[in-house]
Structure 1
Amino acid sequence: MAKTANFGVPWEEAYGYVQAIQHGDTIYVSGQLANDGADFVAPAPLDENGKITDFRNMAEQMRQTYENAKKMLEPFGATLDNVVEEVIYVLDVPTAMQVAGPVRKEAYGRQDPQVASTILGVTGLALPVQLIEIKMIART
């Protein structure tokens, strides 16, 4: 039977998924976002129509997202060192390209993170104030 992990947030049950699942020596981590358990961290500012007005909070959201990914790997005895692939979904690619390098290097604790990485620009994410989401695959 597969081992799973969750944060216990309402949308896990509402949407019907687990935050992470392990099959054999592979851990699949669902798209993580910048929630600290109680609040959304560094929400993007919105105009009166609900449209994002700037993307400057992307680095802070990215840092929290990596922290959440670390928490999802812990129950499996894994860390970011076990991550072999990540996909980073962003609403603004130019901003992501400015902040991703430094934030990723900080998160992985090295100048050359040993992980395959893809950044994709998307037209929307789950929450209106969300700028980034990261999914991962790790091996133990």
Structure 2
Amino acid sequence: MATIDVFSYDVPAEYDFGYAQAIRSGELIHVSGQLSFDEAGELLHPGDFAAQLDQTHANMDRILDHYGATRKQIVSQTLYLVNLRQNAAATMEANLRYFGDHRPASTVLGIIELALPGQVVEISCVIDTKLPA
């Protein structure tokens, strides 16, 4: 029987929208869209794409740490970007820095806006804990 492990930052949005930051079912961890927020759930760096991307990756690392996983176990990611063409180069550079020589499947979507005013990036992913760390 598979066990389910839910991860929460315990921020208001999780209760307001009724979701988990991540949920583990068996060997897979499904990570909800991560964004640039602090411990209280407040958006950091409104409108600053590079700073938001760095903080979003830091928040993803918190989830990886919770599950004892590494970036090398991320098998796919979906990135939602405001002003895709303007931010494409910064996204590519940050992605290479974050993953190093690991190459997960990746989808990048350019969108008009995200949930919070000033939010310009959101990233979700799937982690396979059976893969070598």
Unmatched tracts of structure 2, length 5 or more: none
Structure 1 stretches of 4+ with a deviation exceeding 6 A read none
1:62 to 36, 48, 53: 53
Percent identical: 34
Deviation, structure 1 residue 95: 2.3
Structure-2 separation of matches of 1:27 and 1:135: 11
- TM-score, normalization by structure 1: 0.84
2:78 counterpart residue number: 87
- Structure 2 distance, partners of 1:20, 1:73, is 10
Q: Which amino acid letter does the alignment assign opposite residue 120 of structure 2? A: L
Pick from 83, 87, 109 the counterpart of residue 120 of structure 1.
Answer: 109
Q: Which residue pairs with 2:97 in the alignment?
A: 106
RMSD between aligned residues: 1.2
Q: Structure 1 counterpart of 2:46, which letter?
A: P
**Which deviations, in whole Å up to 9, do the C-alpha atoms of 1:72-128 show, x marking residues without a partner?**
1222111212101000001111123110121112222x1x43211111011221101
Tell me, what secondary structure is at the counterpart of 2:59?
A: helix
Q: For 1:96 and 1:136, how far apart are their aligned partners in 2? A: 20
> Structure 1: which 5+ residue stretches go unaligned?
45-56
Q: Secondary structure at the match of 1:107?
A: helix
- How far apart, CA to CA, are the structure 2 residues paired with 1:67 and 1:107? 10
Paired AA for residue 10 in structure 1:
P
Instruction: Tell me the residue number matched to 2:27.
Output: 25
Number of residue-to-residue matches in the alignment: 126
Distance in 1, Cα, partners of 2:38 & 2:86? 22
TM-score by length of 2: 0.89
Partner Cα separation in structure 2 for residue 106 and residue 41 of structure 1: 21
CA distance in 1, matches of 2:86, 2:34: 19
Tell me the amino acid that sits aligned with residue 133 of structure 1: E
